[in-house]
Amino acid sequence: MSKKIKKDEKEKIIYTQNFAGVIRNVNGKNCLIIKSQRWYQHQLNKFRNGENVSLMIHNEKPKRTERQNRYLWGAFYPLISKETGEPNLDRLHELFKGMFLTQGVVDVLGKKVRMKKSTTELSKSEFNEYIMAIEAETGVEAPPVENWELAPLSK
């Protein structure tokens, strides 16, 4: 997210972005491990060399928004469908959840079942990582949100 402000007659863009990370103990010290280095680097590229920035770390995990969900189903999945020829968005969704949101495989009635996390459980930043993983897998570039009239959910 970004916003423009005027400061001393100069326009300045303020970027605010969520990142998913985890604290891990490395050699006796707590370290922040960024879950998606690619997304993190993409966001860092918005700043100029030498520019001062602030970093705020908290353990709140804001859920993905309804707007993000509308984007997925109303813009990105239909684009992937058009580019790949797979007409069924539900099948695309199940494929990508299986590829990127698998939590494990369990036995149910003697059958192996892949347990998948729901996209409703993702944080905003995890959802962004999910979109980027799909983009990398399919080669279909995720469209900018501001350029799309998002279709209402069909579900």
Whether the per-residue pLDDT at 155 is higher than 70: the answer is no
* Higher per-residue pLDDT: 92 or 12: 92
Distance CA 33, CA 25 (A): 10
Share of the chain above pLDDT 90, in %: 39
Whether the per-residue pLDDT at 20 is higher than 90: the answer is no
Q: Going by DSSP bridges, is the β-strand pair 29-34/21-26 parallel, antiparallel, or unpaired? A: antiparallel
Are 22 and 35 contacting, i.e. CB atoms less than 8 angstroms apart? yes
Phi, psi of 111, deg, nearest 5: -115, 145
Whether the per-residue pLDDT at 38 is higher than 60: the answer is yes
Whether the per-residue pLDDT at 32 is higher than 50: the answer is yes
- Mean pLDDT, to the nearest integer, of 63-72? 86
Per-chain mean pLDDT for the chain? 81
Whether the per-residue pLDDT at 151 is higher than 60: the answer is no
Whether the per-residue pLDDT at 46 is higher than 70: the answer is yes
Q: Each residue of 109-144: pLDDT tens digit?
A: 999 998 999 998 888 888 888 999 999 999 999 887
